[in-house]
Amino acid sequence: MKKIVFLIASLTATPGFALEECLLGAWQVDTDALAQVLAGQLNASAAYVDGDAFMEIGEDGAVRMLVSNIVMKVQMAGAPEMDVTINGNSHGNITAEGGLWTIVGGEYTLVGSAFVMGQSMSIPFSSETGMFGGGSGSYICGDDRLTFDSDNAAAQMPSQWVRLP
């Protein structure tokens, strides 16, 4: 009886994340794709200047994104051009098979900052609307490239990623 109870407890406690093997591992964002996401979210133009963003997808369905000193030159209507710096991470879960993906966010600490007209300002991002917060859509996975297409017009997931060695 103890073995049966243990087996049932193990099965109900283990999440069943469906993942294609080609998705597993470490990826680096295509910076132009990242600039497109930020531009869409801020309703502005954005161009990559510096920094890195990485994603790691584990066999257990965990997806971790780390944004390290990403700097984007941003131009919003009626505002002076500014450099926006973004740092933080996002942890969640991904399911992806049959060409369809869904990410459900968990921990989310992304924050932006900018220096505008002599003043420092914070730009908060939320997991509901901010980049890397979640989403769903379709994907194409190759040996060294991963392409996401988001269902939502205001995409949270950059579309292009390159596999890290």
Local structure of residue 14 (DSSP, 8 states): S
Banded model confidence at residue 36, pLDDT cuts 50, 70, 90 = very high
* Helical segments of 14-147, H only: 31-42
Which region among 78-82, 100-104, 128-132 has the lowest average model confidence (pLDDT)? 128-132
Q: How much is the pLDDT for 16?
A: 52
Rounded Cα distance between 42 and 107, Å, is: 22
What tens digit of pLDDT does each residue of 111-158 get?
A: 999 988 888 999 888 888 788 888 999 999 998 999 999 998 778 899
Q: How much is the pLDDT for 123?
A: 85
- The β-bridge relationship of strands 145-150 and 160-163 is antiparallel
The helix (run of H) or strand (run of E) holding residue 90 is: strand 82-97
Q: What is the arithmetic mean of pLDDT over 4-26?
A: 60
17 pLDDT higher than 50: yes
Quote the pTM value: 0.84
Q: How many angstroms separate the Cα of 28 from the Cα of each of 12, 65, 104?
A: 34, 10, 20
